Amino acid sequence: MQDVSQIAAWLAEATTTVAFTGAGISTESGIPDFRSPTGIWSQAQPVYFEDFLHSPAARQEYWRQKSIAHRDFAGAQPNDGHRVLAAWEAAGRLCGVITQNIDGLHQAAGSRQVLELHGTAREVSCLTCSRRWPADPWVDQFVATQVAPECPECRGPLKHATISFGQPLDETVLEQALAASRDCDLFLALGSSLVVHPAAGLPALAKQQGARLVIINREPTPLDGIADLVVRESIGQTLKQVAALAIRPV
Ligand code: NAD
């Protein structure tokens, strides 16, 4: 309770607050994270971008994994954590969300300022001609045929519009995320194991530039030592309690 009051007080004092979210904010919507003991990587190894480009077998494995993950995404709804952040943005108390997530749940909750560092699984794109389509029909096609789909325009390989391991981030999005992290005075890191770079460097950058750093994550992270406050509780419950206590009404 003391932690919750502290976050509410810092939120009220801050002029520029940024939230940074990882897979942990969406577990309460039923989407598994990657690194928890029951996470996705306890069951399958990720497909690297280089392998996707050069190996038909890797493309097949990629689409197999994505078609399973897509089932989790398709029915998922935003939870309290997503909703509180959207409400804070609407009330002018949060500049926006930088997310590692690809599930689109921040936007579904009503957040407008969302930087998707790792892209979105709601769409697929052609790696040759860059055309994009909604992902659903392509996943359905893969489930029915078990054949990794090709672009109907140029026959290039289709892949979700997400950043795979070994694939460069979108530089414009990264620049915007770096600027937001540099310019804030309160940085909330929510549900990220903070081990994937460069995304995990953002909380450290915010802290170096003088922001307060709050980490809410069930498990320890490598940045706990530099945080002003670490809360090892559920994100949804904690944010809801902060919202209820917030000194200026949300
Ligand atoms: P991660 O799986 O590495 O870490 C998630 C962290 O959240 C863990 O440390 C876990 O202890 C914590 N956590 C889980 N549920 C929580 C809860 N309810 N309350 C508090 N803490 C909770 O996730 P990551 O660091 O975001 O990195 C994995 C990468 O995988 C991301 O970059 C993302 O692109 C991708 N991913 C996205 C989704 C999604 O879009 N929902 C899901 C899985 C993976």
The pLDDT tens digits of the residues spanning 157-172 come to: 999 999 999 999 999 9
What pLDDT was estimated at residue 250? Answer: 43
Tokens of 14: 């801050």
pLDDT at 41: 54
Q: What is the pLDDT of residue 249?
A: 45
Domains of the chain: 1-31+78-118+169-250 (3.40.50.1220), 33-75+119-162 (3.30.1600.10)
Residue range 180-186: mean pLDDT, rounded? 98
User: Could you give the 3-state DSSP secondary structure of residue 157?
Assistant: strand
DSSP of 7-20 = HHHHHHH-SSEEEE
pLDDT at 70: 85
pLDDT of residue 112 exceeding 70: yes
Distance in Å, CA 40 to ligand 1 centroid: 10
The SS3 call for residue 169 is coil
CA distance 25 to 1: 20
Which of these is catalytic: 70, 82, 118, 160? 118
Mean pLDDT, range 223-237, rounded to an integer: 97
Q: Ligand 1, from 7, 20, 34, 173: best to mutate by most atoms within 8 Å of Cβ? A: 34
d(CA 155, CA 135): 17
Among 37-51, 90-104, 126-140, the least confident range: 37-51
For the CA of 34, the closest atom of ligand 1 is 2
Is residue 197 annotated as part of the catalytic site, yes or no? no
| CA 70 – CA 63 distance, rounded (Å) | 10
Residues with CB under 6 Å of ligand 1 are: 22-24, 26-28, 31, 33-36, 39, 100-103, 118, 191-193, 196, 216-219, 234-235
Provide the whole-model pTM.
0.92
Mutate to test the pocket of ligand 1, among 28, 31, 33, 66 (most ligand atoms within 8 A of CB): 33
